Amino acid sequence: MSLPPKSISVPVEMKQGAQQSKSAAKANPSLKYWSLVILTIQNASLILMIRYSRILPGDRYITSTAVVLAELLKVCACLGITLFQIKDFQEWLRHLHSNIILQPIDTLKVAVPSLIYVIQNNLQYVAISNLDAATFQVTYQLKILTTAIFSVVMLGKHLNRLKWISLLILFIGVAMVQLQPAKIPAKKTQSSGDGTQNPMVGLLAVIASSLCSGFAGVYFEKILKGTPGSIWLRNIQMGIFGVFLGVGGMLINDGSTVSKKGFLFGYSTIVWIVISMQAFGGLLVAVVVKYADNILKGFATSFSIILSCIVSVYIFSFTVSVQFLLGTLLVIMAIVLYSRPEVTQ
């Protein structure tokens, strides 16, 4: 469960911190370029690593356990960050008690996006297990479209003509990528570890994941606008719910498998790297994004798509067709156009 930095509005004190960070970035332009590099690597590497972990020969790990562990590690990381900020253990405990235990209604507000994020993370594993990394990376940009639609409906945001045009281009580009004809019919069901790869299942999973991403991101933004809690405190609240909800989902979907084979069945160094990237990657982006504007984030997403395609060709023997290339170019163009700041009269 990672917070979508693009669409989050933050309290006044956090906005002031972000403004200070922007000033620091202006004073040291290299920070912006480092932000671009980190965002690009983060966007591409997690998808590539998950894909790699799902096609390795041997026992396949149970993805629902990976989701639970990622949530648990994220909670621990956010607890450590808040302790570092407060610097006093007793005061830190009082802070957590007063903001989480003594405010149950406020804490329960994050239960909805927490549940949606847990579902989204599980769907991502399903999608990446059934789609090539490059195809998933391009198709998953539908989250920009779903976030925009939910922002208009739930927050009453206004999108100018250029943004609507860019969303249309995005949809066309994704459709071109998904509707490209298979060169070899047998590729409709490919071996993936000890299971099979079904592109239709992958497509449905990535569409559902994009819907979850858009709704949860906008819902969380609405919560942040109406409450004074810091982003780290909200991450702790969401992570606590995420752990329990993830365990519930694991017991429902994979309870018999976990009891028979064990919680850590199929785990390897690669799996632990994937879990760590899921747990800490979103937090890293939340920090780094303070030094990046929307244009830079748009370029980072575009570069990550290109990087995913290049790596997929050399590592996963992915074949880039003309239709895939044209669709990807349209998606990249749409992201760049959508990231352009609005011109105020």
Digit-coded pLDDT (tens) for 278-287: 888 767 766 6
Per the prediction, the chain carries an average pLDDT of 82
In the chain, the number of structural domains is: 1
**pLDDT (0 to 100) of residue 343:** 60
- Residue 344 forms part of a structural domain: no
Please write the tens of the pLDDT for every residue from 37-87: 887 888 889 899 999 999 888 889 999 999 999 999 999 999 999 999 899
- CA–CA gap between residue 50 and residue 131 (Å, rounded): 11
- CA–CA gap between residue 260 and residue 331 (Å, rounded): 44
- pLDDT surpassing 50 at residue 15: no
CA atoms within 13 A on the CB side of 333: 15
Residue 197, beta-bridge partner list: 190
Give phi and psi for 256, each to the nearest 5. -65, -40
Amino acid 176 reads M
- pTM for the structure as a whole: 0.81
- CA–CA gap between residue 208 and residue 211 (Å, rounded): 5
**pLDDT (0 to 100) of residue 332:** 92
Question: Cα 161 from chain centroid?
Answer: 27
- Residue 252 forms part of a structural domain: yes
**pLDDT (0 to 100) of residue 319:** 86
Q: Which residue in this structure is represented by tokens 């299971």?
A: 195
322: Cβ contacts below 8 Å, ≥ 6 apart? none
- CA–CA gap between residue 28 and residue 70 (Å, rounded): 33
Please write the tens of the pLDDT for every residue from 281-332: 767 766 666 666 666 777 788 888 888 898 988 888 888 889 999 999 999 9
**pLDDT (0 to 100) of residue 234:** 84
**How many CB atoms are closer than 10 A to CB 207?**
18
**pLDDT (0 to 100) of residue 181:** 67
The dihedral formed by the CA atoms of 322, 326, 331 and 333, expressed in degrees to the nearest 10: 140
Is 206:127 a contact under the CB 8 Å cutoff?
yes
- Residue 345 forms part of a structural domain: no
Q: Which two tokens stand for residue 243?
A: 């752990």
| Across 138-152, average pLDDT | 91
**How many CB atoms are closer than 10 A to CB 39?**
24
- Residue 286 forms part of a structural domain: yes
Q: Which residues form the domain of 157?
A: 5-339
